[in-house]
Amino acid sequence: MTTLRALKLLFILGIAGAVYSDEKANTKGPENFISKSPEGAAVFIIKPLDGETFKSDESIDILFGLRGMGVAPAGVQADNTGHHHLLIDQTSMPDLDKSIPASAKIIHYGKGQTQTSIKLDPGKHSLQLLLGNHYHIPHDPPIFSEKIVIEVYD
């Protein structure tokens, strides 16, 4: 079996497992959707640095860091793993007991990406990472980075 076929099969099985888990969990309550995080796990922004400035016409490269856990795509359940969500200009955390919502300011990296490149309008912007499990639900306890502030100018 080729690597690509094996990955497709694992993905399909992961989705099938998620559907089965959904049905099973619906009879027991939402606590079945929450994954425990290991002690000492941390997520952080490697790049850019807090206080860094960017021209409005340039892309901002963001590198995600993770310690004490691994990265796995959404839909793939594996202990001590999760995937990144980038919170842009959020004044508060989303509900930590529910699936992290997606929007232009809460970006999901459900394929397991560990970096991205974005453009932002001129002004000051906050960036923060929040790790989600295979259901996009934060772990218990939640794993989120310190908030950094960058500035984009014309």
Q: Which residue has the higher pLDDT, 121 or 29?
A: 121
pLDDT at 2: 52
Give me the percent of the chain exceeding a pLDDT of 70: 79
Q: Where are the beta strands (DSSP E) in 28-147?
A: 42-47, 53-55, 60-67, 70-71, 81-88, 106-108, 115-118, 123-132
- Does residue 130 have a pLDDT over 80? yes
Least confident of 4-13, 54-63, 87-96, 139-148: 4-13
pLDDT at 50: 98
In the numeric block, which tokens belong to residue 79? 């202990």
Confidence class for position 5, pLDDT limits 50, 70, 90: low
Contacts of 85 (CB under 8 A, 6+ apart): 100, 106, 107, 108, 109, 129, 130, 131, 132, 136
Q: Please give the mean pLDDT across all residues of the chain.
A: 86
Architecture category of domain 35-153 in CATH: Sandwich (2.60)
In 3D space, the residue among 112, 104, 154 whose CA is nearest the CA of residue 136 turns out to be: 112
**Alpha carbon distance 87, 62 (integer Å):** 12
